[in-house]
Amino acid sequence: MLGKKKQSRRPAGNFDTLISAKTSIKGDVFFSGGLHVDGKIHGKVVAEEGSNAVLRVSEVGEVEGDIVAPHVIVNGTVHGDVYAAEHLELASKASINGNVYYNLIEMAMGAAVNGSLVHQQEPRGLLGKQEGGVMSQQDRIEPEERINADVE
């Protein structure tokens, strides 16, 4: 085992698109490939259905809206729900104000989630039936439909 390299669980991927720190977008963003966010997005961020897309929100990046992507890396701020069908990484400066739906999660010390963490293996629960890449309201999992797993 000493000579073997540890394989990364997340795709290294190239980031095709950069939203710079000096950029603010108002409206939904649909992407495939890799999207790196240093700026602000006021709207949903949705990966192309069936793609192996990667979204990375840097320490200075901010998203005000839901995120739907197979691979999500957050080290900035998200105000909305996060749906990561494959892998979610929350780095030490990550701050999520919303529910997190994931299949596999890595969470560093210092990362904060103000909402529920919901493990789901089935992509349908994460992405739902999509309408133009956006989850329909009837397919969303509402808090009252989840089992309360809080320890008292």
| 4 part of a folded domain | no
| 149 part of a folded domain | no
Residue 66 confidence (pLDDT): 98
Residue 16 confidence (pLDDT): 86
In the beta sheet, which residues pair with residue 31?
47
The span from the CA of 4 to the CA of 150, in Å, is 40
| 8 part of a folded domain | no
Look at the chain and report how many structural domains it folds into. Answer: 1
Q: What is the pLDDT of residues 68-117, one digit of tens each?
A: 999 999 999 999 999 999 999 999 999 999 999 999 999 999 999 999 99
Low-confidence winner among 33-42, 54-63, 83-92, 118-127 (lowest mean pLDDT): 118-127
Structural domain of residue 96, as residue ranges? 17-125
| 152 part of a folded domain | no
pTM: 0.74
| 1 part of a folded domain | no
| 43 part of a folded domain | yes
| 26 part of a folded domain | yes
Q: What is the pLDDT of residues 129-151, one digit of tens each?
A: 444 444 443 344 444 343 334 44
Residue 111 confidence (pLDDT): 98
